[in-house]
Structures are given as structure tokens and as C-alpha cells.
Amino acid sequence: MWIYEKKLQYPIHIKKPNPMYASIIISQLGGPDGELGAATRYLSQRFSMPYNEVIGILTDVGTEELAHVEMISTLLYQLTRDLTPEQIAKAGLDKYFVDHTTGVYPASAAGTPFTTAYIGVKGDVLADLNEDLAADATIPQAQPLSKINFTDEKWVRTSLFLKYLKNRNEFEIVITLYCNIILRTC
């Protein structure tokens, strides 16, 4: 069960649209390492976890990823609102706008629509936790830095940075918890 609080996890207040940055950050919503895939991954994996503590953490993290979907969607909308046709074409978003106009549609920066083929759910604790680490915990070292470096917008940089710090901490807790559970059962 979820209770929806009608506010963003981190406030986003983009002062001026930036279609070039939107064409990059869209992958954070629907790309292979995006928020939609992360939420789906964690909320699906939790069902086969044999440990209540890990189920709880995957539920919490998956729910938080849904909040990130909302945050990144807000960011995309604010980056693309009130664009001229010339700005849209210059940023390479003209094909996207033909189909979706100002609608926020989950896709990669290359234009590939979101697909669940991006995620792994095996039903095996070690395989699933390794999938989670590979998909999310390593992102702070690679993906956000590339996206953060494309903008000077304070709200964009702060939102992405805080999100990645939080995810790294959560996965350190999951791995520690899992190791403690395994040691207790040996």
C-alpha cells in the first residue's frame, strides 16, 4: 500500500527551458538505467526474496524510485515547456514532439521507448541483488556525472546528486543486511 504525498521528493524549479539537456536527461526516465526500470526491478524482485528485511528495503527503494520517476518527469517537462519549433528541431527533439508534444514519454536519449527488457528479475537472491548493484549502485560513478556535466542549472544538478547519494547508501545497507542474514543462518 502506498500513501501519496503531493509534493516532489526534491523541489525542481527550472528557470529557463533547455531542450539540449532534456534530450540527454530523458534517458534518466526511460533509458536502460532509468528510474522507471529501477522501480519496476525492485518492486518485482521483492516477491521472491526469502528475507523480510530485504523485501522491506526493496519495497522502500522501489517506491522511492517511483518518486524519482515523478521528479525526472517534472524536470523534463520544465526543460521543454514553451519551446519554439526551432529550439525543438535544433535539439533533435522534433521526432519526439511529433508523437508526444509536451507529454513526458519514457524513452532513452537515442529515442528507444522504455522496455522491461532493461531489467533483470531472476528469483535468486544473489542474482537479483547483483543486478541491483550493477544497475543502480554504480550509476553514481558514471551516469549522473555525465548528465550533471551537461547543465549549469542548480536545481538539476542538486536533484540528481542527492538522488544518487541516497541510492548508494541504501544499497550499502542491503548488502550489509544480507551478509548478516547469511551469517546468522550458517
The average confidence (pLDDT) of the chain is 81
Give mean pLDDT, residues 41-68.
Answer: 90
Give mean pLDDT, residues 2-16.
Answer: 84
pTM for the model: 0.79
Q: What is the pLDDT of residues 74-85, one digit of tens each?
A: 999 999 998 988
Domain that holds residue 102: 19-185
Q: What is the DSSP letter of 116?
A: G
Residue 65 lies in a domain: yes
pLDDT at 64: 87
Find the angle CA(110)-CA(70)-CA(12) to the nearest 5 degrees. Answer: 95
Residue 8 lies in a domain: no
Residue 82 lies in a domain: yes
Residue showing cell 535468486: 124
In the chain, % of residues over pLDDT 70: 78
Does the pLDDT at position 128 exceed 80? yes
Does the pLDDT at position 163 exceed 70? no
pLDDT at 76: 92
pLDDT at 8: 86
pLDDT at 160: 62
pLDDT at 144: 47
Residue, of 182 and 103, whose pLDDT is higher: 103
How many H-runs (helices) and E-runs (strands) does the chain carry? 8, 0
pLDDT at 186: 47
Q: What is the DSSP letter of 60?
A: H
- Residue 6 has φ and ψ, to the nearest 5°, of -80, 60
Range from 15-24, 84-93, 96-105, 175-184 carrying the lowest mean pLDDT: 175-184
Residue 2 lies in a domain: no
User: Using only C-alpha atoms, what is the Rg of the chain?
Assistant: 18
Residue 175 lies in a domain: yes
Q: What is the DSSP letter of 112?
A: P
Q: What is the pLDDT of residues 48-61, one digit of tens each?
A: 988 888 899 889 88
Residue 140 lies in a domain: yes
The total of structural domains in the chain comes to 1
HSE value, Cβ hemisphere, 13 Å, CA-based, for 78: 15
Residue 173 lies in a domain: yes
pLDDT at 179: 74
Residue 7 lies in a domain: no
Residue, of 116 and 153, whose pLDDT is higher: 116
CATH code of the domain containing 117: 1.20.1260.10
